[in-house]
Amino acid sequence: MVVWSLFIACTAVILLTGTLLSKYGDILAEKSGLGRTWIGVIFFLERAGFGSARKLTAIFYLKDFAVPKVMLSAILVAMVGLLALERIGILDFDLIAAMPTYLWPQLVGGLLLGIGFVVGGYCPGTSAVGAASGKGDALAFMAGLVAGIFGFTELFDRLESFYFSGDLGEFTLSEWTALPPAGVVVVLLLVAGAAFWWTRRFERRPCSADARASEDGAHGLGGCASVGRGGGGAQS
């Protein structure tokens, strides 16, 4: 009886807060001119700490794995959902458009994105989250992002041959591994479970006094970083 009472109470709180968040999110969307989806994404990412450069770059120092956990969880949930919809006949995989794979430009682009992530402390999406909460470094990152977009557009004629090099077409993991889609999902779920277990070993490591003192360094990641703090605890 106590358990059910707590469950009902928690459900009521979730419904109440969800209704209020939806209400105020609609107001913000109307006042700012942004879509409701953008407001929701920015709000939840900010509350999760993804507007902080410290938390975002902690992954590269093996201190905080929240970012890859969130990304991988979202991918896995989408994969399982799509597979379930296909199995019950609501969705046809053949009708889903997939981005073609251009091996070499995508490898170079991923490398450049990773370097920019480490140096700037943000990726394109999280820089928008940081900018929305008034962080100056995120605004500077977005300015560089926009400048890069215009620069690439101006140089596209010279880069076009490289841009379309290594064309593999619509290449999927199922084709690459020769496994059925369900097999790919099962393998990735097992890999993700093992990865989540493995990363907990790093996140639970005790912090020494020297490590805590070094948090005042660049990005605050010399030691403990933002592990164990709340989402908005580490401000860049």
Residue 194 has pLDDT above 50, yes or no: yes
pLDDT tens for each residue of 2-33: 556 776 777 787 777 667 767 766 776 676 66
In the chain, % of residues over pLDDT 90: 12
Determine, yes or no, domain membership for 114: yes
What is the reported pLDDT for 182? 87
Tokens representing 178 are 């020769």
pLDDT tens for each residue of 107-166: 999 999 889 888 888 888 888 888 877 888 888 998 988 999 999 999 999 999 999 999
Say if CB 126 and CB 137 are below 8 A apart: no
Determine, yes or no, domain membership for 156: yes
Determine, yes or no, domain membership for 134: yes
Q: How many domains does the chain have?
A: 1
Say if CB 227 and CB 52 are below 8 A apart: no
pLDDT range class, residue 56, cuts 50, 70, 90: confident
Determine, yes or no, domain membership for 15: no
DSSP 90-124: S--GGGS--PPEEHHHHHHHHHHHHHHHHHHS--H
Determine, yes or no, domain membership for 73: yes
Compute how many other C-beta atoms are within 10 angstroms of the C-beta atom of residue 225: 25
What is the reported pLDDT for 62? 81
Which one, of 105, 141, 125, 159, lies nearest residue 42 by Cα? 125
Determine, yes or no, domain membership for 160: yes
In the chain, % of residues over pLDDT 70: 74
Determine, yes or no, domain membership for 191: yes
pTM score of the predicted model: 0.63
Residue 90 has pLDDT above 80, yes or no: yes
In the predicted model, what is the mean pLDDT of residues 55-66?
Answer: 83
Say if CB 232 and CB 48 are below 8 A apart: no
Among the residues of the chain, which ranges form H helices? 2-32, 36-47, 53-57, 66-87, 103-120, 124-132, 136-163, 173-177, 181-203, 209-213
Which one, of 70, 15, 23, lies nearest residue 47 by Cα? 70
Say if CB 198 and CB 190 are below 8 A apart: no
Residue ranges making up the domain that contains 76: 50-220
Say if CB 69 and CB 130 are below 8 A apart: no
Determine, yes or no, domain membership for 92: yes
**CA distances, 138 to each of 44, 85, 144, 208 (Å):** 17, 38, 10, 30
Residue 230 has pLDDT above 60, yes or no: no
Residue 226 has pLDDT above 50, yes or no: no
Amino acid letter for position 227: V
Say if CB 30 and CB 168 are below 8 A apart: no
